[in-house]
Structure 1
């Protein structure tokens, strides 16, 4: 593959894929019920063994 072709691919489609992944990760973190799991995970370092 030519360098210019790979750069064009990275500049367009890889950027779109990364943006979709970012939006998906945010949506996954803000899904219903995730607040309880986040609170439990935040308390783990404070628990006595």
Structure 2
């Protein structure tokens, strides 16, 4: 039961912080300058003929 308590405290503090930082990082990555061109190119890949 002690392991569960330790993991629960970790998830409530550092785990939550890590997930929040990851979320902010993804948003920044998506909205970075030049991201629209890369997203448009990736979106058109299935439509390209070989």
> So what's the TM-score if we normalise by structure 2?
0.85
> So what's the TM-score if we normalise by structure 1?
0.86
Runs of 4+ in 1 over 2 A off after TM superposition: none
Residue matched to 1:7 = 8
Unmatched runs of 5 consecutive residues or more in structure 2: none
Q: Which has the higher contact order (CA 8 A, sep 6+)?
A: 2
How many residues end up aligned between the 2 structures?
A: 49
